[in-house]
Amino acid sequence: MTSVCKKCGLPIDLCVCEELEKGETRVVVRLEMRRFSKPTTIIEGLNPKRTDLNKIVQKLKMKLACGGTVKDGYVLLQGDHRDNVKEELIWLGFNESSIEVQ
């Protein structure tokens, strides 16, 4: 027996809730200077309950060749990757108009 999505009622392999969530989410990508003047790219606005942040951060780390983590619902990437992150988020299925780069 396959498991059923609690939100839409479809089987998990046919569920489109995550794709719909990506289109509605407002994502903010900004740069913050951390300790010792280290630049850190912060991605906020992703819902950790509906989006697998660990999967997203793994793909971004692999594509951008940097370190990173998920902390308190934010995605933190080492270095200034604002422009590249926007392109990768669009490639992952997020709406271009909902991504704001500061």
Q: Does this model's pTM top 0.85?
A: no
| DSSP output for 32-79 | EE-GGG-EEEEEE---TTTS-HHHHHHHHHHHHT--EEEETTEEEEEB
pLDDT in tens, 23-82: 567 889 999 998 888 999 999 988 777 778 888 899 999 999 999 999 888 899 999 998
Residue 30 DSSP SS3: strand
Instruction: For each of the domains in the chain, give its residue range(s) and CATH number, in order of start.
Output: 12-101 (3.30.780.10)
